[in-house]
Structure 1
């Protein structure tokens, strides 16, 4: 349950005006939370855990998209 609370706190963080290093930290933390929640999900098969993982994945993708930047026009 502590891990679920940590994931919910992570969701509530402000994600505006972040530096590149902050974005990297957030991406890594989200990945670790998702992997840890997945281990719990494998045992319990609780849909709430799956919903949390989906929301964290969306946040992670959004941050990583900003890290990669716009593709260059050739």
Structure 2
């Protein structure tokens, strides 16, 4: 369960991104983690994996909101 460990480590990290490139990198990283977790979830149907994906998606949405800017 290497992917789950990576996802949990990403979730525990501080999410302070000073530059746009850091935001883009973290957005891509969390997107790939979510997609990998989704593949695992399709096979196992574990609700804990779904909860983890939801939490990561919330983090991703915050990052992307900051990337797109606020009107």
Same fold (TM over 0.5): yes
Q: What corresponds to 2:50 in structure 1?
A: 50
Larger radius of gyration: 1
Q: What corresponds to 2:6 in structure 1?
A: 6
The alignment's TM-score, normalised by the length of structure 2, stands at 0.95
1:65 maps to 2:69:
no
Query: What is the number of residues matched between the two proteins?
Result: 71
- Counterpart-to-counterpart distance in 1, 2:17 and 2:31: 21
Gaps of at least 5 residues in structure 1 are none
Q: Is the 8 A contact 2:41 2:49 kept in 1?
A: yes
Q: Is the 8 A contact 2:23 2:63 kept in 1?
A: yes
The 4+ residue runs of structure 1 with deviation greater than 3 A are none
The alignment's TM-score, normalised by the length of structure 1, stands at 0.92
- Counterpart-to-counterpart distance in 2, 1:31 and 1:18: 20
3-state DSSP class of the match of 1:50? helix
3-state DSSP class of the match of 1:30? helix
